[in-house]
Amino acid sequence: MKAWYMDSSCEDQRLPHHLDPPQYVSEEHLSGPAELGVLHWVMNADEYETDPQLKKLREERGYDYEDFITVSPDKLPNYEHKIKTFYEEHIHTDEEIRYCLDGSGYFDVRDSDDRWIRIWVEKGDMIVLPAGSYHRFTNDETNYIKAMRLFVGAPIWTPYNRPQDDHPIRASLFSNLHFQAAIRL
Ligand SMILES: CSCCC(=O)/C(O)=C/O
Ligand SMILES: [Fe+2]
């Protein structure tokens, strides 16, 4: 996984959109409770069916639901519509948990100053975006990612497009981040 601040150009969303010069974002900055609360693990995607690390993580975090999605023009029905939907800035009322089993793609998240950070996930990367965090997804130039989608209980995929500043899950997100920051002091 690599992450960087994005430029504001309107060019193809599948391009990296680096600043000039590039400004990378560390994993500590992404996961820090004072910042975004984005979690990340690297696992062996070739062994996901039997991987004890994935099993333990799922048990610890209660991820008892799984399914698979391949985002590519020839594999995802209604691809053009879906890719537009994924790229609308939105929140969910639950975590967004994605384990990249093959290919690669970009999850964009807002930092605390509302600047876009682009997170590039590749095979073996698993990320968790906290409930209520503004984000979007796009394929990269390879136009191909296969991901496992995990969930606690029955999945609720509903995206709530921005603005959602008064949505109760936003208040929960901020209080969770502040609480985690306080207990780490
Ligand atoms: C590679 S997962 C597809 C994108 C998605 O599921 C989502 O919810 C984006 O926000
Ligand atoms: Fe989403």
Confidence at residue 181, expressed as pLDDT on a 0 to 100 scale = 82
pLDDT of residue 171: 93
**Lowest-confidence segment of 66-75, 122-131, 169-178 by average pLDDT:** 169-178
The correct answer on CATH 2.60.120.10 for the domain covering 2-170 is yes
Ligand 2 (ion): residues with CB under 5 Å are 96
Taking residues 79-96, what's their average pLDDT? Answer: 97
Return the C-alpha torsion angle 161, 68, 150, 18, nearest 10. -50
Question: Is 81 annotated as belonging to a binding site?
Answer: no
Q: What is the pLDDT of residue 182?
A: 82
- pLDDT above 70: percentage of residues in the chain: 98
Query: Quick one: tokens of 114?
Result: 């509302």
DSSP per residue, 31-54: H-TTTT--EEEE--GGGTTT-HHH
Least confident residue range of 33-47, 48-62, 68-82: 33-47
pLDDT of res. 62 = 98
Average pLDDT over residues 86-98: 98
Indicate if the pLDDT at residue 40 is higher than 90: yes
Which pLDDT belongs to residue 98? 98
- Best substitution site from 88, 137, 139 to test ligand 1's pocket, by max atoms within 8 Å of Cβ? 137
Ligand 1 atom nearest residue 136's Cα: 10
Question: Please, which pLDDT band fits residue 45 given cuts at 50, 70 and 90?
Answer: very high
**Where are the chain's structural domains?**
2-170
ipTM (interface predicted TM): 0.97
pLDDT given for residue 185 in this prediction? 63
What's the whole-number mean pLDDT along residues 89-111?
98
Ligand 1 atom closest to the Cα of residue 157 is 8
Read off the pLDDT band of 34 (50, 70, 90): low
The dihedral built from the CA positions of residue 159, 163, 168 and 170, taken in this order, carries a sign that is positive
Q: Which of 78, 86, 135 for a ligand 1 pocket mutation test, highest count of atoms within 8 Å of Cβ?
A: 86
